[in-house]
């Protein structure tokens, strides 16, 4: 049966359409979910797409993290449902506490949109199991607050437990330890700052290296 | 006390601040003649903003008529000049709307908000046609990059365009950034938006049906931007510019994103009878234009307008330019469905009035009549001026001062040195530090974007149909000859679109000039409009709309006359688009078109000699059309892997740009007649570089022969070469290219 991936649209979400396209290209079915919904029905996984939910007012991802649908997302994530937060979605996951740390202003203090080289360092998550360890991918970043920070005492735990999922080859935004993506210990919840959904069709995106994320969740074997 | 209509009748002799509101004595008298009494203060506010230069086009109207008179025979124009934006047919039941608008003056005073609300305004214009906004572009001009104020203006403008467009989820697909000292006190911020819809989804602004409701939705009305239109856009800047800050509007892109989604949801459900965005002149403009464009009668209860600031007077509410508001005409039976959609998107929506049987616009404030006017006299029958025009006294001196006597390099070392100077100059250097601050990926349909010659978005995912757009201006050419200059701008935008393989079909414009009260500026304007109208006729591409920005001057010094021209083209399958970068070693490099020694008005003359004089390059519209047709065929047959037009800086600059973008070397061997500085930096028109892979070579030559396209083989892509290697002249390695293109521009 085809994997059903819920794509949540908050007011101000922008990359929901692109996430749905990528999910379909990866072989799964994209299911639209509205932020005012209170349950996820029968989806098998969830993507929190990029954008500026609630205008990023207060803090990026802060208001979305307490919206009606997020309670369901948190409950399901704790039960093991795969959740991928991309960019603004990563910020939401940090705000909910599903992932540790926070995203702060880029070190150059302005928005950056360009393809970046990243290296996959954890292939055991629900979203990266189609990659080889050490795989180098071109994935675009587009954010103003992508600088990952975590309390110094918590960083070793992240490193030691292998929870860093991807690192930038040429750190564009000042993220600590070049971190581009992290996961929880169970490996079902992943937050990533670059946009794999914009690297699934070379005609309109930055190559096709992002497809592996969506193959991973589709998990199709024939 | 509120100044009611009956009060105005009873107190004819009251002194009114018409002068402060920007009206002239005879204009004030005309209002009194129309009404048969003095206007109420609310009416005076409405007339003053609607009769301002910005809203009424009173100085430009007599000239802009030429666009209508000279519209070429065409089968693409669905809606022309007059609505919120023009609409063209691109086939398969798709309609596309695109438009450019200036936000020059606000962007100087408060660069971030000025530029941000410029984007917001043009996006709402596109939305008001019923279209889904798809992408934005911008044409920017600033003072000398080393001038002290340039960094403030540029950084603010770029952050504002990015901050608004990125938050809105619209990709930025290109544009231009140009520096010249004449823009120091008057930066140009011209924003373009393109959108698409099905033919039966086109909306217009006329309120026709008696009994329909007037719905105001989106942001609440505040005190921002009050009088912005008349104060900011219609008076020459002086030292008091700082005091104008409160007149600049403040944008909220999050609200605009909700507005887009809610409006499209209502529109696609067929719930909107007519619609208009609230931009310049706010409610004054929306109510009078919707009534005037429709059956003519409307009653509005102004006290129902939701306010951010309860202390606002009725006059201020009418003039407020608070952003992110729309006004829709709704049939009463659809009101519940419309309100439900607004509620879904958490938008406030209020019925503020209805369409009436009278031919009057009547506005009430707590049951008292404060406006009672024929709407056409506010919206469409404002003053029209035939301003005096005079060919500038120094125009002849400018023309005879050619580049003939300027010293030119005669050997490879000298030519390379000039080339490096050009590439390092702000106008040609790499602008990715600007364009990387804009999201170009969102929506997943961006096929081409900066630094490609044109931006391109896919419209139909099933068929692959898409549109290409280029925005181009050239103040140098227009200073030397505004008629020819405007046509050369049009030719360049047309050529840029053609480079992508798309077929150019329609034109829009944003005409940036100094004060219309100066006869020499008015002459420049009239010449440019004539040139553009004649050019569009000959190209066969109708002008679908446009925007005029006057008073771009500080004291007596005006900007270079700068019409910015946008051309839209169609490509049936965007998968066949041609990029500026190449990738295949062994591919041949061809120069299409003919080169003549034409350096007058060139960027070479400006950068190397700080010289502006002579006669701009010759225009050859037939040759441009042939070149564009060749490009369409190359795309259709898939036999060109890259192409780049020749414009600023000519052949060597175009070669350097291609090599730099592609990151693979190129070996060039030029015919002897091209080996002089005059030819290498010449800006002759109707030329392009095309890179052809081996399998395409035969077809390429057949097409060029069949279409009578002059073509010269000049080189080959060669991964053994480092950078650009021009035999017999110089080699400019990849490091040298990067160093030149990436020169730091701003002083701080």
Q: What is the mean pLDDT of residues B386-394?
A: 96
Query: Where residue B335 falls among pLDDT bands split at 50, 70, 90?
Result: very high
Residue B713 has pLDDT above 70, yes or no: yes
Nearest CA in chain B to A52: B167
User: Smallest Cβ distance to B167: which of A55, A140, A204?
Assistant: A55
Q: Dump pLDDT digits (tens) for B621-637.
A: 999 999 999 999 999 99
Report ipTM for this prediction.
0.95
Q: How confident is the model at residue B84 (pLDDT cuts 50, 70, 90)?
A: confident
pLDDT at position B20 is 85
CATH number at residue A165: 3.40.50.880
What pLDDT is stored for residue B747 in this prediction? 66
- pLDDT of residue B232 exceeding 80, the answer is no
B501 part of contact set with chain A, CB < 8 Å = no
**Is A37's Cβ below 8 Å from some Cβ in B?**
no
| Residue B227: pLDDT over 70 | no
pLDDT at B748: 55
Residue of A nearest to B577 (CA): A203
φ and ψ of B38, to 5 deg = -75, 150
Show residues of chain B in contact with A114, CB under 8 Å: 432, 436
Domain ranges of chain B: 5-53, 82-379, 403-741
3-state secondary structure B275-332: EEECCCCHHHHHHHHHHHHCCCCEEEEHHHCCECCCCCCHHHHHHCCCCCEEEEEECH
- Chain-chain contact of B257 with A11 (C-beta, under 8 angstroms): yes
Range with the lowest mean pLDDT among A84-88, B22-26, B502-506, B576-580?
A: B22-26
pLDDT-based confidence at residue B243 (cuts at 50, 70, 90):
very low
Confidence of residue A219 (pLDDT cuts 50, 70, 90): confident
> Are the C-beta atoms of residues B176 and B188 closer than 8 Å to each other?
no
- How far apart (Å, rounded) are the C-alpha atoms in residues B245 and B230? 14
The answer to whether A197 is a known catalytic residue is yes
User: What's the CA gap between B273 and B334, in Å, rounded?
Assistant: 10
Q: Choose the closest CB to B444 out of A21, A52, A112.
A: A21
Q: Which of B52, B734, B655, B14 is nearest to B378 (CA)?
A: B52
- Mean per-residue pLDDT, A142-149: 96
Catalytic residue among B63, B103, B105, B180: B103
The model's confidence at residue B295, banded by pLDDT at 50, 70 and 90, is: confident
Report the gap between the CA of B436 and the closest CA in chain A (Å).
5
Instruction: Tell me which fold the domain B82-379 belongs to.
Output: Phosphoribosyl-aminoimidazole Synthetase; Chain A, domain 2 (3.90.650)
Q: Which tens digit of pLDDT belongs to each residue from B173-219?
A: 999 999 999 999 999 999 999 999 999 999 999 999 999 999 999 99
Based on the number of CB atoms within 10 Å of its own CB, is B229 exposed (0-12), middle (13-18) or buried (19 or more)? Answer: buried
CB contact under 8 A, A142 and B166: yes
CB contact under 8 A, B252 and A55: yes
Whether B311 and B226 have beta carbons less than 8 Å apart is answered as no
**What residues contact B574, with CB distance under 8 A and at least 6 apart?**
A203, B447, B456, B458, B464, B465, B466
Q: What is the mean pLDDT of residues B243-256?
A: 74
Number of neighbours of residue B380 by Cβ within 10 angstroms: 14
Query: From the CB of residue B610, how many other CB atoms can be counted at a distance below 10 Å?
Result: 7
Distance separating alpha carbons of residues B293 and B379, to the nearest angstrom: 9
Q: With an 8 Å Cβ cutoff, is B442 touching chain A? A: yes
Interface with chain A: mutation pick from B134, B169, B261, highest number of A CBs within 10 Å: B169
- Structural domain count, chain A: 1
The DSSP 8-state label assigned to residue B472 in this structure reads E
Catalytic: which of B54, B105, B425, B611? B54
CA–CA distance, B121 with B127 (Å, rounded to integer) = 10
Say yes or no for a CB contact (<8 Å) between B253 and A51.
no
pLDDT exceeds cutoff 60 at B246: no
Which residues of chain B does A140 touch, with a Cβ-Cβ cutoff of 8 Å? 441
B224 confidence band (pLDDT: 50, 70, 90): confident
When the candidates are 3.30.1330.10, 3.40.50.11440, 3.30.420.40, 1.10.10.60, the CATH number that belongs to B403-741 is 3.30.1330.10
**So what's the pLDDT on residue B231?**
46
Residues 6+ apart with CB under 8 A from B744: none
Task: Answer yes or no: do B442 and A14 touch at CB < 8 A.
Answer: yes
Instruction: Specify the pLDDT at position A202.
Output: 94
Q: What average pLDDT does the segment B101-122 reach?
A: 94
B149: how many CB neighbours lie within 10 A of its CB?
15
Contact state of B441 with A18 under an 8 Å Cβ cutoff: yes
A108 to chain B, any CB pair closer than 8 A? The answer is no
Question: What pLDDT shows up at residue B233?
Answer: 43
**In A, which residues are within 8 Å of B438 by CB distance?**
111, 113
**Closest by Cα among A110, A130, A111 to A122:** A130
Task: State the greatest distance between any 2 C-alpha atoms of chain B, in Å, as a whole number.
Answer: 89
Would the pLDDT of B18 be above 60? Answer: yes
Is the CA virtual torsion B102, B103, B107, B108 positive or negative? Answer: positive
Report the gap between the CA of B457 and the closest CA in chain A (Å).
9
**Could you list the residue range(s) of the whole structural domain that residue A26 is in?**
4-218
Identify which of B255, B432, B458 has the shortest CB distance to residue A204: B458
Q: How many CB pairs under 8 A join A and B?
A: 84
Q: Residue B481's Cα: distance from chain center in Å?
A: 21
> How high does pLDDT run on average in chain A?
95
φ, ψ for residue A2 (rounded to 5)?
-65, 135
Cβ–Cβ < 8 Å for B88, B502? no
Mean pLDDT throughout A98-115?
A: 95
Q: Give pLDDT, residue A220.
A: 57
Q: Can you tell me which residue has the tokens 């507005």?
A: B259
Q: Residue A8's pLDDT is what?
A: 97
Average pLDDT over residues B375-391: 95
Closest CB to A113 among B163, B255, B436: B436
User: How large a percentage of chain B has pLDDT more than 90?
Assistant: 88
pLDDT at B234 over 80: no
CA distances from B583 to A140, B650, B658, B665, B666 (A): 21, 22, 11, 10, 11
């Amino acid at each position: 049966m085809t994997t059903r991936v819920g794509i949540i649209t908050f007011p101000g979400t922008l990359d929901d359409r692109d996430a749905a396209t990528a999910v379909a290209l990866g072989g799964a079915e994209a299911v639209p979910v509205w932020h005012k919904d209170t349950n996820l029905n029968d989806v098998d996984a969830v993507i929190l797409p990029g954008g500026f939910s609630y205008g990023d007012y207060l803090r990026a991802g802060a208001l979305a993290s307490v919206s009606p649908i997020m309670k369901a997302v948190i409950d399901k994530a704790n039960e093991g449902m795969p959740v991928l937060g991309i960019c603004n979605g990563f910020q939401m996951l940090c705000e909910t506490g599903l992932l540790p740390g926070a995203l702060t202003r880029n070190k150059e203090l302005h928005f950056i949109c360009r393809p970046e080289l990243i290296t996959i360092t954890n292939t055991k998550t629900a979203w990266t199991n189609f990659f080889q360890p050490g795989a180098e991918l071109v994935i675009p970043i587009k954010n103003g607050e992508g600088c990952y920070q975590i309390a110094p005492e918590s960083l070793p735990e992240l490193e030691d437990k292998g929870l860093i999922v991807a690192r930038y080859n040429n750190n564009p935004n000042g993220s600590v330890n070049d971190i581009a993506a992290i996961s929880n210990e169970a490996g079902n919840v992943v937050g990533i700052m670059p946009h794999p959904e914009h690297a699934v069709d070379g005609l309109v995106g930055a190559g096709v290296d992002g497809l592996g994320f969506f193959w991973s969740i589709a998990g199709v074997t024939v | 006390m509120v100044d009611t209509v009956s009060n105005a009748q009873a107190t004819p002799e009251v002194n009114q601040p018409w002068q402060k509101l920007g009206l002239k004595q005879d204009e004030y008298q005309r209002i009194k003649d129309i009404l048969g009494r003095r206007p109420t203060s609310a009416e005076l506010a409405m007339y003053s903003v609607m009769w301002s230069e910005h809203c009424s086009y009173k100085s430009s109207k007599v000239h802009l008529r030429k666009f209508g008179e000279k519209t070429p025979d065409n089968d693409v124009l669905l809606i022309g000049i007059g609505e919120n934006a023009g609409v063209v047919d691109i086939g398969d039941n798709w309609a596309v709307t695109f438009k450019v608008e200036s936000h020059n003056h606000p962007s100087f005073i408060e660069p971030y908000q000025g530029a941000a609300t410029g984007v917001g305004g043009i996006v709402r214009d596109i939305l008001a046609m019923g279209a889904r906004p798809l992408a934005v572009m911008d044409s920017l001009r600033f003072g000398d990059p080393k001038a002290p104020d340039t960094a403030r203006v540029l950084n603010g403008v770029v952050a504002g365009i990015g901050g608004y467009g990125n938050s809105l989820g619209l990709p930025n697909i290109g544009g231009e950034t140009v520096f010249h000292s004449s823009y120091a006190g008057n930066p140009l911020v011209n924003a373009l938006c393109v959108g698409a819809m099905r033919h039966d989804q086109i909306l217009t602004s006329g309120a026709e049906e008696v009994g329909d409701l007037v719905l105001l939705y989106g942001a609440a009305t505040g005190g921002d931007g009050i009088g912005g239109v008349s104060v900011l856009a219609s008076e020459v800047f002086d030292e008091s510019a700082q005091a104008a800050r409160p007149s600049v509007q403040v944008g909220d892109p999050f609200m605009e994103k909700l507005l887009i989604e809610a409006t499209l949801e209502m529109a696609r459900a067929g719930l909107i009878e007519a619609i208009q965005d609230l931009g310049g002149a706010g409610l004054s403009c929306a109510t009078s234009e919707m009534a005037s464009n429709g059956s003519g009668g409307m009653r509005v209860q102004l006290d129902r307008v939701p306010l951010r600031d309860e202390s606002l007077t009725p006059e201020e509410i009418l003039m407020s330019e608070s952003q992110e508001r729309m006004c829709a005409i709704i049939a009463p039976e659809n009101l519940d469905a419309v309100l439900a959609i607004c509620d879904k998107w958490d938008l406030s929506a209020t019925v503020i009035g209805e369409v009436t049987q009278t031919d009057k616009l009547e506005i009430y404030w707590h049951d008292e009549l404060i406006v009672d006017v024929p709407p056409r006299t506010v919206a469409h029958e404002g003053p029209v001026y035939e301003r005096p025009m005079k060919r500038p006294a120094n125009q002849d001196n400018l023309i005879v001062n050619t580049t003939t006597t300027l010293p030119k390099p005669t050997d490879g070392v000298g030519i390379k040195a000039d080339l490096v100077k050009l590439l390092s100059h702000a106008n040609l250097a790499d602008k990715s530090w600007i364009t990387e601050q804009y999201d170009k990926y969102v929506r997943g349909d961006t096929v081409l974007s900066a630094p490609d010659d044109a931006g391109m978005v896919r419209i139909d995912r099933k068929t692959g149909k898409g549109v290409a757009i280029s925005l181009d201006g050239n103040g140098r050419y227009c200073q030397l000859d505004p008629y020819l200059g405007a046509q050369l701008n049009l030719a360049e935008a047309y050529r840029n679109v053609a480079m992508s393989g798309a077929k150019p079909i329609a034109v829009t414009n944003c005409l940036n000039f100094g004060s219309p009260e100066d006869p020499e500026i008015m002459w420049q304007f009239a010449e440019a409009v004539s040139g553009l109208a004649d050019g569009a006729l000959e190209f066969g591409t109708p002008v679908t709309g446009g925007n005029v920005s006057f008073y771009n001057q500080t004291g007596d010094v005006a900007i270079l006359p700068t019409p910015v021209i946008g051309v839209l083209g169609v490509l049936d399958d965007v998968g066949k688009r041609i990029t500026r970068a190449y990738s295949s070693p062994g591919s041949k490099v061809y120069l299409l078109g003919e080169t003549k020694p034409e350096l007058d008005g060139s960027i070479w003359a400006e950068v190397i000699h700080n010289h502006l004089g002579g006669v701009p390059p010759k225009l050859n519209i037939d040759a441009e059309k042939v070149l564009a047709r060749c490009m369409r065929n190359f795309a259709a047959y898939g036999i060109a892997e890259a192409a780049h037009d020749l414009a600023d800086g000519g052949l060597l600059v175009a070669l350097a740009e291609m090599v730099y973008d592609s990151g693979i070397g190129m070996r060039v061997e030029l015919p002897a007649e091209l080996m002089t500085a005059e030819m290498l930096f010449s800006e002759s028109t109707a030329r392009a570089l095309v890179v052809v892979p081996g399998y395409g070579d035969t077809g390429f030559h057949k097409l060029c022969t069949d279409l009578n396209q002059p073509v010269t083989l000049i080189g080959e892509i060669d991964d053994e070469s480092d950078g650009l290697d021009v035999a017999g002249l110089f080699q400019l390695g990849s490091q040298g290219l990067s160093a030149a293109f990436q020169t730091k521009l701003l002083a701080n």
